[in-house]
Amino acid sequence: MSKLFEEIDLGGLTLANRVVVPPMCQYMAADGLPAPWHEMHLGTLGISGAGLVIVEGTGVSEIGRISAADLGLYNDEQEAALTAMLSRIRTYSPAKWGIQLAHAGRKASNEPFDAPYPVPPEKGGWIPVGPSPIAHSDRWPTPTEMSEAEISQAVQSFVTSTQRADRIGFDLVEVHAAHGYLISSFLSPIANKRTDGYGGSLPNRMRLAIEVARAMRKVWPASRAIGFRVNGTDWIEGGITVEETTELAKALRECGIDYVTVSSGGNARGQKLPPLVPGYQVYLSDRIRKGSGIKTMTVGMVLQARQAEAIVAEGKADMVGVARATLDDPRWALHAAQELGGEIGYPKSLWRLSAKNWPGYKIVHELPEAAE
């Protein structure tokens, strides 16, 4: 029996299997609104066979967007557009649906698709904010140091977007606290040189993450899940370490956070990335999972069904995020299920792909009914 295709409970939420399509920015939005592309792209991923699809990093405020082409969830129009889109996709998609809520912090106001190509205010961009007035590198602008009032406002933006995600009907929200964006930069001693209660010691650097976690858990139903994407390491001397992130994961678990997605990097230009071989971040998930007791999702170069199966079977992660391999093969999870003998299959309208109708091709099962 495949472990990858076993159900998993995240708090009160049950996923049909442990394959996740993680968030992937499309840079196709205008004014934070989804484009027809989003419906087509996400609709395809919604019948990929993955138990969970997480919508791309979505700005909790206008200045929290990586670029002007990011999705946003900070006004009524965006909420209405995402509600309509998700409801249409769910007509056919049996997957559970999450959304990643993000504030880009000092890495905001970029050209879409590539970084660092900052867009200054005179060209329609804005001055980004961060924990300290320290630029990511000489190619990035110096952010404005956030006041305590601005930090409270940022926490409130996460809360308001979470309430919007609740009304839209998402099953899960994931907070982007990795890759050098706002929360990640507060966590990292490289970006955070504050001398107040948000800087210095690990508990201080964790304070923003914990405030966001507590405030979101208060407004998000217990029957649905909240996760955090974190950096297992900054890949640089003096940056956040796996030991520190394990402490963060323990604290998040105590706040009622259901899982962490373990990624890495993005806080400093001088980072020394390891060779990006298959599963290069799995050991970070393994360490954090065992050290903190929280459920984890691993991401990064998970390419093959048997590789994903082994990660879950060996207890190195509870879920496996398959990003680019699913872009390349949007039926990645269905093909993995066939290979591993999991109980999922193609949507009804693709009945011609059954063994009876396509001799020689392995039998597939019908996908379970779409959610209401």
Hey, which residues are catalytic here? 181
Nearer to ligand FMN, 252 or 322 (CB): 322
> In this structure, what is the dihedral angle of CA atoms 284, 107, 327, 2, given to the nearest 10 degrees?
20
- Residue from 100, 192, 245, 264 touching ligand FMN (CB under 6 A): that is 100
Q: Site mask, ligand FMN, residues 209-248, x = CB under 6 A?
A: --------------------x-------------------
Applying CB under 6 A, among 10, 16, 20, 24 the residue interacting with ligand FMN is: 24
Question: Is residue 128 at the binding interface for ligand FMN, with CB under 6 A as the rule?
Answer: no
Residue showing tokens 């996709």 = 89
**Residues contacting 287, CB < 8 A, separation 6+:** 232, 242, 246
Burial class (CB in 10 A: 0-12, 13-18, 19+), 62: middle
Task: Pick the binder of ligand FMN from 15, 25, 190, 248 (CB under 6 A).
Answer: 25
What separation in angstroms does the CA of 275 have from each of 10, 243, 262, 278, 344?
Answer: 32, 22, 17, 9, 34
Tell whether omega for the bond before 116 is within 30 degrees of 0, i.e. cis.
Answer: yes
Q: Which stretch binds ligand FMN (CB under 6 A): 239-247, 248-256, 315-323, 333-341?
A: 315-323
Tell me: does residue 67 bind ligand FMN (CB under 6 A).
no
Per rule CB under 6 A, is residue 302 in the interface with ligand FMN?
A: yes
Nearer to ligand FMN, 38 or 194 (CB): 38
Q: How many residues does the chain have?
A: 372
Distance CA 22, CA 185 (A): 21
263: contact with ligand FMN by CB under 6 A:
yes
Q: Which of 35, 80, 323, 350 binds ligand FMN (CB under 6 A)?
A: 323
Tokens of 100: 């990643």
Which residues of this protein are in contact with ligand FMN, per CB under 6 A?
22-25, 56-57, 100, 176, 178, 229, 263, 299-302, 321-325
